[in-house]
Structure formats: structure tokens, C-alpha cells
Structure 1
């Protein structure tokens, strides 16, 4: 595996929130040009551990850890999270409902040989204007409202992002929930092919489409190659 992030720890491939002195230690803001109102992220103590608390009030932004990682044959992502509530108007199948109190965003490297001319031209323009290369496909692990747990659907804005509902509904709101996923297996299921290298993993709580409010708590994300 090629790993270029200098902040990675020996027992995981993603910086652990529980050991950070600042959110700048291996994480950086993930914002979007057309969204001016951002979610708030802060390190707090919760149930005896240091975690990240995210508050979103009609805005959207995230925290991303940049990577350059070959996922190999199997790559296990494990995390725990908690939400205060789900969004009444949340709906993973509609643009107006594409908000989640908590999500984990896994971004993969863009593959120009699999893209059309206009897609390549658009990405080149973005790189020139903003000095940053856009990622390619993405997996979003979401705490959904009405989408049944286990469902996989295309994002309503782009089929280059696939939404995987790992939790759904309000039954477990207010409780810590642990999730474990094989990123490689999920990518194969979602896109029908082998994944390229991973360029980033992010947490994000957003409410820019529904205009609602929620708080989420994120524990450590652990990323390991399978034995």
C-alpha cells in the first residue's frame, strides 16, 4: 500500500480523534464553493473519550483526511457514531432531501481513461481555477432517514457517488453505534468494478437541502488492511 499522509498512526491509516490536540492534526476542512454556511466541528469529551462533535444548521461542510492509498483486495473501515435526530425531510433519492446528520465520505482517484471528453475538460477547468484536482467516484456511508439499512442508491446529484445506508431512522438516535465495512467489497457492489486508489476519507454532517438541524458525534475511524 502507498500511504502519503504523514499523520497516519501505526495501528490505523487514519488519524484518531481520541489522540488529537487539534483538528488540524491530519484533518482539514472540506467545503463547497456554492455553500457559504458551514457545519461546526469541535473536539470534545463524551462518555470518557475524546470525539468530534458536529453541528449542522442548514449548512454543509466536512473534515477530510487526505490519503494516497491502494485499497488492495480488502480494506476494513470501522467507526462509531451517534446522532441527535434524523431529518424529517431527509430522502436519499431526492435532491431536496440529500442531507444526513452523519456520513462518512470515501473518495477515490479520478480515472480519466473511463471518463468522457466533457468530464475531463470540466475537471481540467476546476484544477486551473481552484488549484485542486477533483476526486472520481465516491462511497458515502450514511445515517439515512427513510432509506432502508443495507440499501445502495446513486446520489441524486451524481451517479459518481453511491450512497450506502448503514443506519436508518431514529430508533437508535442518541446511542453510540459501531459500524464496520469492507470498502473494496462495497465499491465492487456499488460500481461493478475494482476500486482505484483512495484519495481521502471525510466525515460530514449537512443540512443545506432540507434546512434542518442536527448534532452528530464521531468517534475514531479505523482503517486497516484485512488479514
Structure 2
């Protein structure tokens, strides 16, 4: 009986972990931020990016059953890095790789289910937390975004500019309260970007094992 129960528990845990795993093989789209600037993304088991003096975003929607996500974990790797920058400086805030979490109030989430990333970014009710691998800031520092309406987005520094592979584990609910105050809404979108246009440098990076919980 113990063997059966142990096997059942192991299967349950494996299924639960798999249920929160974000696929990079389908559902992702690139959004250019400039007509003449674009990163090279590869989608599969991981999301890989090469940025050569360029910037753009790869994004995907989050399914309804994950709108209540409170935390996330992932692994990211940088093989070639931009130099350290000031992430609060518009036009001078290059970073190796960023992972964005896009929130809206639960009451309006259903009406935005089909919205693209530009529509979401242009909505005044949207709040965005961007976790960054890059810059020259202390880990955990909350940096107001120099782009878009004031109070809509923040960057949270996790790793300074440089190379290496690291595992991250974040409390989205706590970080949202720290950044914006109050309770987070529904998580409706995810995005990944690399930004090397201001320093005209090269990024080679990847992100994988992204789990929502």
C-alpha cells in the first residue's frame, strides 16, 4: 500500500509541476519596437535570443486558469553581455534579458483576453513587473520604468550585467504590493526582451524552465 501511495504522490507532484510549466514552443510572437531593429528569437524547449545593437519583445498570453498566479521560477543564461547601465535612464537602459509579467484588474481581464501586447501596454489599468538580468543595480531594487505612463511599470533588478546561468524564484504578489501597493490583479501576459541598441553591443542569452504557481 505504501508503494502505491508513494507512486501516486510522485505522479501527482509531477503532473502539478508540468501543469504550471510555460511552453516556449508555441504561442509566442515577436513585437518590434522599432521598424529597423529586431532581435533574433528561437522558440523551443527554451527561449533563446541574440540581440546585436537591437531591441524587441517576444510575448504570449496567459491562459485563464493561470490568471491567479502568485509566483514564478525560471532559469536564465547569458553567454555574451551588454555593459552595465542605469535601468532608470530612458535611452540608456540596455539589459541582457528581461522577463515581464503583465497584470490587469480581475474585473476587466475577460474583456482583454484577445488583446495584443501593444493594446495591453497602452491600457492605463495595466501594471507591469519586469525582472532584469542587466544594469548596475542592487538585487531586489525596484526601479520605476522610464517609459509609458508614470506608475504603470517597474523593473526589479535580479542580476547585474555579466554572464552566467542562474535560477530565479520570485513572489509576484509580494513584489506587486511593494511596487504598486495593493493586491495584484490577473496575470494576462508574459514577455521576454533583450535590449542592446543604446550600447550597440551583443547579447546571447536564453530563458527556460519557466513555471507559474
TM-score normalized by the length of structure 2: 0.75
Residues matched between the structures, number: 184
Distance in 1, Cα, partners of 2:117 & 2:22: 25
2:157 to 145, 165, 169: 165
Runs of 4+ in 1 over 6 A off after TM superposition: 110-113
1:140–1:163 Cα contact (<8 Å) kept: yes
Distance in 2, Cα, partners of 1:164 & 1:37: 25
Q: Does 1:203 align with 2:210?
A: no
For residues 46-84 of structure 1, the C-alpha deviation after alignment (integer angstroms, 9 at most, x for no partner) is xxxx42220001211222120244326xx1210001112
**Richer in helix (by share):** 2
2:146 to 145, 156, 169: 156
| Residues 205 and 30 (structure 1), Cα distance of their counterparts in 2 relative to 1, 3 Å cut | same
Distance in 2, Cα, partners of 1:161 & 1:71: 19
Q: CA deviation at 1:112?
A: 10
Long gaps (5+) in structure 1: 1-8, 18-22, 45-49, 114-126
1:1-227 counterparts in 2 under 5 A? 11-17=18-24, 23=25, 25-32=26-33, 34-43=34-43, 50-67=45-62, 68=64, 69-71=66-68, 75-88=70-83, 90-109=85-104, 133-135=119-121, 136-158=126-148, 159=150, 160-170=152-162, 173=163, 175-224=164-213
Distance in 2, Cα, partners of 1:193 & 1:144: 28
Long gaps (5+) in structure 2: 1-14, 109-114
**What do you get for the CA RMSD once the two structures are aligned?**
2.8
* Structure of greater Rg: 2
TM-score normalized by the length of structure 1: 0.71
Q: CA deviation at 1:35?
A: 4.4
1:15–1:26 Cα contact (<8 Å) kept: no
Q: CA deviation at 1:89?
A: 5.5
